[in-house]
């Protein structure tokens, strides 16, 4: 078991993975080890640092039984750290990574394995304090397969031996935020925009979307082209409200996230930030859908010009790993008035104003229309959703209740059907 002197030497030698210790827990750990080696701190201060480290590690998290929380935290940080090795491994196989970079990664993983073994248990013994670790099932959502490998890494005797598997993890899942999360929201605060992860995205799947098979097939086929690295079209999903346009886009990332698809939600008011978004995703191996929901513009609004630039490209080309999927209840995205049409005494070229507004839709290579279902279509959706939840109701009673619900809750639509089924699910658990 390494001692604090050895651990401090290993920390000093980190180059690629230095960032794994840059969070608050890492800083507490480094300060604690330094204080134990150089003894500039009294025992009371060291114990206080240890308490802060434990609290930081345990706040909002649970750990697998028998695993040191520090080792598990360190393994988690390694899995999503952005550094020259992980970024390269996100593009190519382990064998294709430069030999010198592989050797450096193996050396640092060996060092990090020693830090993992000098965890909370060893620190508590060094300080002479008692510690009851929190055991239990792991909480929090992660991509499939991640938790098992993180656990293997945290408990491994030789982290360097797992370097090829770690490189495979980077290749399959990505690194940094794009490895840890699949859905994002562009958010502007304090004059700067950034990608904010969506911790708990809508779990909707294709199986939850009843009907609209032709529309789904068209959107899925285009998304498959994106994932295959082929030219893919920008898509406008338009039509009646409550028909599942937004749900279909959100379902794509749940179906194809393990193949590298990521979803970024962009508000209409932030369209001018698109160059920053392009810069954030351009050199990533993942494929991105930029989702603009409920899109439409009033006459005086000019954000549609930014959208045209995004769709068409300016001097800076749109990266091939990103497409725009917009949803709207309107076929014409910019509201048009009779005053936009040519009339004597108006501007010299009034038709240009009209054409500029109407041409926005033409920038979407694929336009998919969603119409509200008729009575039979609505009932088909209701029955399918009810069957999926195994609700024990007579078919005639179900239909009658569903129709009554639609009359007072917005008419026949997929959204109304889901709301109705949600309401009777509460009544019939």
> pLDDT under 70 in the chain at which residues?
132-147, 297-305, 313-316, 331-359, 426-429
- The HSE-up count of residue 16 (CA atoms within 13 Å, CB side) is 24
Give pLDDT tens digits for 243-295.
Answer: 899 999 999 999 999 999 999 999 888 888 888 999 999 999 999 999 999 88
Q: What is the pLDDT of residue 303?
A: 61
Q: What is the pLDDT of residue 426?
A: 66
For residues 309 and 273, give the distance between their C-alpha atoms in angstroms, rounded to a whole number: 11
Give, as one character, the DSSP assignment of residue 135: B
Q: What is the pLDDT of residue 141?
A: 44
Q: What is the pLDDT of residue 338?
A: 42
The ranges assigned to domains in the chain are 4-176, 183-370, 375-427
In DSSP notation, 203-260 reads ---GGG--S-HHHHHHHHHHHHHHHTTS----EEEEESTTSSHHHHHHHHHHHHGGGT
The torsion angles phi and psi of 130, rounded to 5 degrees, stand at: -85, 150
For residues 106 and 325, give the distance between their C-alpha atoms in angstroms, rounded to a whole number: 41
The tokens of 374 are what? 């008729």
In DSSP notation, 1-43 reads ---HHHHHHHHHT-STTGGGG-SHHHHHHHHHHHHHHH--S-H
Q: What is the pLDDT of residue 313?
A: 63
Give pLDDT tens digits for 157-180.
Answer: 999 999 999 999 999 999 999 999
User: Is the CB of residue 383 less than 8 Å from the CB of residue 401?
Assistant: no
Name, in order, each residue with C-beta under 8 angstroms of 330's C-beta and a sequence gap of 6 or more: 238, 296
In DSSP notation, 344-391 reads TTS-SSHHHHHHHHHTTGGG-SEEEEE----HHHHHHHHHHHHHHTT-
Q: What is the pLDDT of residue 295?
A: 82
For residues 146 and 211, give the distance between their C-alpha atoms in angstroms, rounded to a whole number: 34
Q: What is the pLDDT of residue 82?
A: 97
Q: What is the pLDDT of residue 294?
A: 83
Q: Is 272 helix (H, G, I), strand (E, B) or coil?
A: helix
The tokens of 375 are what? 């009575």
Which CATH number applies to 183-370? 3.40.50.300
For residues 425 and 378, give the distance between their C-alpha atoms in angstroms, rounded to a whole number: 18
């Amino acid at each position: 078991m390494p001692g604090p002197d050895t651990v401090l030497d290993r920390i000093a030698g980190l180059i690629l993975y230095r960032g794994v210790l840059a969070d608050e827990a890492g800083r507490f750990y480094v300060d604690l080890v330094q204080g134990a080696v150089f003894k500039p701190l009294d025992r009371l201060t060291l114990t206080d640092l240890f308490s802060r480290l434990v609290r930081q590690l345990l706040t909002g998290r649970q750990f697998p039984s028998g695993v040191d929380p520090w080792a598990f935290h360190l393994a988690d940080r390694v899995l999503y750290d952005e550094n020259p090795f992980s970024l390269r491994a996100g593009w190519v196989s382990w064998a294709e990574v430069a030999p010198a970079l592989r050797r450096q990664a193996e050396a640092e993983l060996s060092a990090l394995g020693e830090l993992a073994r000098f965890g909370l248990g060893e620190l508590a013994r060094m300080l002479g304090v008692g510690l009851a670790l929190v055991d239990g099932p792991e909480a929090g959502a992660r991509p499939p397969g991640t938790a098992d490998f993180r656990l293997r890494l945290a408990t491994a005797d030789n982290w360097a031996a797992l370097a090829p598997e770690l490189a495979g993890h980077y290749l399959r899942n990505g690194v940094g935020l794009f490895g840890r999360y699949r859905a994002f929201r562009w958010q502007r605060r304090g004059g700067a925009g950034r990608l904010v992860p969506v911790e708990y995205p809508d779990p909707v799947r294709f199986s939850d979307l009843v009907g609209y098979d032709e529309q789904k097939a068209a959107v899925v086929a285009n998304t498959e082209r994106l994932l295959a690295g082929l030219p893919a079209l920008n898509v406008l999903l338009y039509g009646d409200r409550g028909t599942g346009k937004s749900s279909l886009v959100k379902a794509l990332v749940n179906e194809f996230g393990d193949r590298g698809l990521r979803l970024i939600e962009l508000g209409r008011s932030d369209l001018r930030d698109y160059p920053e978004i392009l810069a954030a995703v351009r050199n990533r191996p993942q494929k991105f859908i930029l989702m603009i929901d409920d899109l439409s513009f009033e006459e005086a609004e000019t954000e549609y010009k930014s959208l045209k630039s995004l769709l068409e490209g300016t001097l800076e080309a749109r990266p091939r790993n990103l497409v725009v999927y917009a949803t709207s209840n309107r076929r014409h995205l910019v509201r048009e008035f009779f005053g936009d049409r040519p009339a004597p005494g108006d501007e010299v070229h009034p038709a240009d104003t009209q054409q500029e507004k109407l041409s926005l839709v033409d920038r979407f290579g694929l336009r998919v229309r969603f119409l509200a279902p008729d009575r039979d279509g609505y009932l088909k959706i209701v029955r399918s959703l009810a069957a999926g939840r195994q609700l024990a109701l007579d078919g005639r009673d179900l239909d009658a209740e569903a129709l009554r619900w639609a009359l007072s809750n917005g008419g026949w639509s997929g959204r109304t059907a889901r709301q109705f089924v949600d309401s009777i699910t509460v009544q019939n658990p």
